[in-house]
Amino acid sequence: MQSNVVAGREGPRPITTLRGWLDHLAAQDRLAVARPGLSLAFEIAAVAKRLDGRKATFFPQAGGHAMPVISGLVSDRGWIAEAMGVAPGEVLTRFQEAALNPVPWLEVRNAPAQQMVHRDVDMTRQLPIPVHNEHDSGAYITAGLLIARNPRSGIQNVSIHRLQVSGPNRLGALLLPRHTHMFFEMAEAAGQALDVAIAVGVDPLTLLASQAIAPIDFDELTIAGALHGAPLPVVKCVTNEVRVPAEAEIVLEGRLLPHVREPEGPFGEFPQYYGERAKRHVIEIDALTHRKDAMFHTIVGGGLEHLLLGGIPREATLLAHLRRSFPNVCDVHLARGGVCRYHLYVQIDKRQEGEAKNIMMGAFAGHYDVKQVIVVDDDVDIHDPAEVEWAVATRFQADRDLLVVGESQGSKLDPSARNGVGAKMGLDATKPLDAPEMKFKRIRVPGEESVDIGRILENDHSWRQCLKA
């Protein structure tokens, strides 16, 4: 098999290392290097956010630390396509293909992630951990892949949690009711701590794989292997049995403590509001390992990197979920205005009257975060909000095309919901199938798209010269 063949397809090779990705971004003039010594308190986040979606950022000697900070690594959908080695339109299919064909990891010894080992941990001294939003309770680790093992099956889970630095070797963690939380409940019921590891600074595809909406006991690192087209090298932690990406920049090893809850938050979250302060789970850190020349990756809370990392794997899952019942669903998009979680645009090749409403119900059932669904025809670009609004303006009538489902489960981070309970709204903005052809015929100027503007335009003369001639 040729090395550039991935999953039976030829094309550019996927990016498999963080350093390779930074080289790629730099070569495309998408990596900004700041002057040394910017402040960890807001300054790094301010610069990263100003360049959000246009350039990733590299901060040497951040806050006077020897270790640099990096941010904004995957803050554009097109970049994610490049990391995968596919066209932008193939990102969701490629991700879903990887989730269906996971590649088991490969355990190695002598990992770069363990070149340096500290058993006496003081994160505030050893790591450059920034403060992001105005009312955040303090410094947060935001790009850490939290890896834990199911106490019964031993199968690992990977997820990203906001981690508040509560002390030199203590983190406050928000665990939503998903897989890590289930593993922890098993351990806590037995009066035991749950061993965990937090890997900071991984390649873009491993980062994306960590956000897959996979079933329990489905190791997200095997999706990373599939996206890479090769098994992901992992290494056993120094102080516990958790396996972490061997190429990671930094690894924190520790335990989620049973029957301990401490204040965590507020923290600026993806809906562009603060997640409230409350008593939450606590991780005690036992060891810190890192590369000799490690970099600290930070994701600015609520920035594009935060939004897209959650959004794209969800889109892939929702697309696959909808297609099981509705094979004529062409594409889905979680819109930026809906914080890449709440508003779903669905593009269909309409076959039956009424099916848009069935599709809405399928989408609401696909993920509780989905709050609004707009279904459009296949002549509408769902990645352009103006196109979707145009479809609503000209193909939707609220008295017959609107679906509202009250008192349903939604996002707890939506401040307009009552502790996560709220309404779903669906808009059918598709054309009627029996409409006369010209009624919904979209206007177009023949040749507009194909005309070679560079060859046609006159660059040498002003309009006054042309007028005289």
How are beta strands 329-334 and 296-297 bridged, if at all? unpaired
- Which residue lies nearer to Mn ion by CB, 157 or 166? 157
Q: How far is the CB of 179 from Mn ion (least distance, A)?
A: 4
Query: Six-digit token pair at 175?
Result: 């665990």
Question: Judged by CB under 5 A, which stretch of 133-141, 154-162, 246-254, 443-451 contacts Mn ion?
Answer: 154-162
User: How many beta carbons lie within 10 A of that of residue 48, not counting itself?
Assistant: 28
Q: Quick check: 411 binds Mn ion (CB under 5 A)?
A: no
Residue closest to 146 by CA, chosen among 172, 107, 168: 172
What is the DSSP-derived secondary structure letter of residue 196?
A: E
Sequence-distant (≥ 6) Cβ neighbours of residue 230 within 8 angstroms: 16, 103
**Among residues 170, 179, 255, 291, which is the contact residue for Mn ion, using CB under 5 A?**
179
**Among residues 57, 75, 150, 157, which is the contact residue for Mn ion, using CB under 5 A?**
157
Q: How far is the CB of 79 from Mn ion (least distance, A)?
A: 24
Dist. CA 3–CA 189, nearest whole Å: 48
- Is residue 395 within 8 A of residue 402, CB to CB? The reply is no
- Which residue lies nearer to Mn ion by CB, 213 or 252? 213
Q: Quick check: 314 binds Mn ion (CB under 5 A)?
A: no
Which residue has the CB atom at the shortest distance from Mn ion?
179
Q: Quick check: 181 binds Mn ion (CB under 5 A)?
A: no
Dist. CA 177–CA 180, nearest whole Å: 8
Query: Six-digit token pair at 373?
Result: 């669904």
- Which residue lies nearer to Mn ion by CB, 56 or 221? 221
Q: How far is the CB of 56 from Mn ion (least distance, A)?
A: 27
- Is residue 241 within 8 A of residue 253, CB to CB? The reply is no
- Which residue lies nearer to Mn ion by CB, 123 or 147? 147
- Is residue 142 within 8 A of residue 171, CB to CB? The reply is no
Dist. CA 382–CA 331, nearest whole Å: 8
Q: Quick check: 291 binds Mn ion (CB under 5 A)?
A: no
Question: Judged by CB under 5 A, which stretch of 27-35, 83-91, 152-160, 292-300 contacts Mn ion?
Answer: 152-160
Question: Judged by CB under 5 A, which stretch of 104-112, 179-187, 338-346, 368-376 contacts Mn ion?
Answer: 179-187
Residue closest to 163 by CA, chosen among 31, 55, 283: 283
Q: How far is the CB of 247 from Mn ion (least distance, A)?
A: 21
Question: Judged by CB under 5 A, which stretch of 12-20, 171-179, 190-198, 384-392 contacts Mn ion?
Answer: 171-179
Q: Quick check: 317 binds Mn ion (CB under 5 A)?
A: no
Q: Quick check: 149 binds Mn ion (CB under 5 A)?
A: no
Q: Quick check: 222 binds Mn ion (CB under 5 A)?
A: no
How many residues make contact with Mn ion (CB under 5 A)?
Answer: 2
Sequence-distant (≥ 6) Cβ neighbours of residue 215 within 8 angstroms: none
- Which residue lies nearer to Mn ion by CB, 156 or 164? 156
Query: Count of residues for the chain?
Result: 469
- Tell me the three state secondary structure of residue 206: helix
Q: How far is the CB of 148 from Mn ion (least distance, A)?
A: 10
- Site residues (CB under 5 A) for Mn ion? 157, 179
